[in-house]
């Protein structure tokens, strides 16, 4: 089928929660092709999902081998891949235990439930989150998300959430009450506009949570699995959370999410407290293990740091040329180009030229290439951005 045929079929039979413009049918590394044969350089990576690129042979082989062996047994039984993956994540996180699920929203639901159960005998149930954050689209996680636009139309929202200003410790202090069980924060606000947390803010949160005897939780759905040049975004701040969530890049396109909790908190969940039918299947865990092994074998954490620095430097040069571009910002390969106005025209112009990015927070162009992106890829992307900016500036 060509793009028009796919679009017509989707219009007839899919609920219109998205408004896609492209029909992508094939991917390899940093490249994708649409149904009409056009090639694109993918600097969105499934919105920070494809951290080892499209169809990496290690992940493909792991999925193929496991699919031919055992796909699903339910969590009523052991499966050998699940504890292996939990061990690998715990070692990278500095200890802890895991609960596996299927998505970022489900992982963040798990964090919220964990915090409430942990605080239940103390009369604590509220979770403080940050304005401009994003934590998911379920009723609890969209309430945790500090943005009115995702909450509109879904009232009444669940109780038990309060909001503070990101990078403002005094605002968090004001939001905490005797009913507060946890503070939930992103190391880098992704959907909120690629805004890294300040070191003093994160250190202050850890101290504050310790003083108040409440949990510090991190949403690592987008920043995790190497995106910022560390396994997890919080590791850029030399703090240890009480628990954190993972999803997106953990399976490199295969749906899997996780809650990773410290030893002191993990056993709050006991049999019957929380569950999921498809969480941590042998197939999902095999994919995730292959992702972790590939990042290690190919030294992709270091590559994310190096390519992120190169990309930021080159984007800042572009930003300095135009008064309608404020700056480039980000951490590792979680990068944003901040404009004075809507970023959507630039996103569309780049798509026409064969570069995939995403406008977010109205005026930020979100740039999230795979961690194995090369210098040549970065230079090609920057050249396309330069051309697009020049064309837009002349309008």
Element of type H or E holding 23: none
Give the pLDDT means over successive 10-residue stretches in the chain (395 positions).
96 96 97 98 98 98 98 96 98 97 98 98 97 97 96 96 98 98 98 98 98 98 98 97 98 98 96 96 98 98 98 98 98 98 98 98 98 98 98 92
User: Any known ligand binding at 4?
Assistant: no
Question: Can you give the length of the chain in residues?
Answer: 395
User: Any known ligand binding at 221?
Assistant: yes
> What is the rounded distance in angstroms from the CA atom of residue 15 to the CA atom of residue 164?
34
User: Any known ligand binding at 364?
Assistant: no
> What is the rounded distance in angstroms from the CA atom of residue 365 to the CA atom of residue 112?
30
User: Any known ligand binding at 219?
Assistant: yes
Q: How high is the pLDDT of residue 16?
A: 96
- Cβ atoms within 10 A of the Cβ of 342, count? 12
User: Any known ligand binding at 277?
Assistant: yes
User: Any known ligand binding at 276?
Assistant: yes
Q: Are 246 and 260 in contact (CB under 8 A)?
A: yes
User: Any known ligand binding at 253?
Assistant: no
> What is the rounded distance in angstroms from the CA atom of residue 199 to the CA atom of residue 84?
33
User: Any known ligand binding at 352?
Assistant: no
Q: For the segment 332-391, what is each residue's pLDDT rounded down to a tens digit?
A: 999 999 999 999 999 999 999 999 999 999 999 999 999 999 999 999 999 999 999 999
Q: What is the pTM of this model?
A: 0.97
> What is the rounded distance in angstroms from the CA atom of residue 191 to the CA atom of residue 150?
12
Q: How high is the pLDDT of residue 164?
A: 98
> 54: exposed, middle or buried (C-beta count within 10 Å: 0-12, 13-18, 19+)?
buried
Give the residues across from 360 on adjacent strands: 364
**Nearest CA among 367, 308, 312, 365 for reference residue 338:** 365
Q: How high is the pLDDT of residue 395?
A: 80
User: Any known ligand binding at 161?
Assistant: no
> What is the rounded distance in angstroms from the CA atom of residue 86 to the CA atom of residue 98?
6
- Cβ atoms within 10 A of the Cβ of 191, count? 21
The structural domains of the chain, ordered by start, are 3-55+299-393 (3.90.1150.10), 58-297 (3.40.640.10)
User: Any known ligand binding at 328?
Assistant: no
Please give the order of strands across the beta sheet that includes 39-42: 24-28, 31-34, 39-42, 355-356
- Cα pseudo-dihedral 272, 98, 176, 188, rounded to 10: -140
């Amino acid at each position: 089928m060509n793009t028009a045929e796919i679009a017509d079929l989707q219009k007839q039979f899919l609920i219109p929660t998205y408004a896609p413009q492209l029909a992508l049918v094939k991917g390899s590394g940093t490249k994708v092709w649409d149904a009409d044969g056009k090639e694109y350089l993918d600097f969105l990576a499934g919105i920070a999902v494809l951290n080892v690129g499209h169809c990496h042979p290690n992940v493909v082989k792991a999925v193929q081998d496991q699919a031919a062996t055992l796909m699903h047994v339910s969590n009523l039984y052991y499966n050998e891949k699940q504890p292996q993956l939990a061990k690998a994540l715990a070692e990278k996180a500095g200890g802890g235990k895991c609960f596996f699920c299927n998505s970022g929203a489900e992982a963040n639901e798990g964090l919220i439930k964990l915090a409430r159960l942990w605080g239940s005998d103390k009369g604590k149930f509220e979770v403080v989150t940050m304005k401009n954050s994003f934590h998911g689209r379920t009723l609890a996680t969209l309430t945790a998300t500090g943005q009115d636009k995702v909450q509109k139309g879904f009232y009444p929202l669940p109780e038990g959430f309060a909001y503070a200003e990101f990078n403002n410790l005094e605002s968090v202090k004001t939001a905490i009450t005797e009913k507060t069980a946890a503070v939930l924060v992103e190391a880098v606000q992704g959907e909120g506009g690629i805004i890294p947390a300040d070191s003093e803010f994160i250190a202050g949160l850890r101290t504050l949570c310790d003083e108040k005897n409440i949990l510090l939780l991190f949403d690592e759905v987008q920043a995790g699995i190497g995106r910022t040049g560390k396994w997890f975004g919080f590791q850029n701040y030399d703090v240890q959370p009480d628990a954190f969530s993972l999803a997106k890049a953990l399976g490199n396109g295969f749906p899997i999410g996780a809650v990773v909790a410290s030893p002191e908190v993990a056993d709050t969940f006991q049999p019957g407290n929380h569950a999921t039918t498809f969480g941590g299947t042998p197939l999902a865990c095999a994919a995730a293990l292959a992702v972790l092994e590939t990042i290690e074998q190919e030294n992709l954490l270091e590559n994310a740091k190096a390519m992120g620095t190169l990309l930021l430097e080159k984007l800042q040069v572009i930003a300095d040329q135009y008064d309608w571009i404020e700056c480039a910002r980000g951490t590792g390969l979680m990068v944003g180009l901040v404009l004075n106005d809507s970023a959507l025209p630039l996103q569309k112009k780049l798509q026409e030229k064969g570069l995939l990015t995403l406008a977010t927070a109205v005026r930020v162009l979100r740039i999230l290439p795979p961690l194995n992106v090369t210098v040549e890829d970065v230079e090609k992307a920057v050249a396309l951005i330069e051309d697009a900016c020049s064309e837009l500036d002349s309008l």
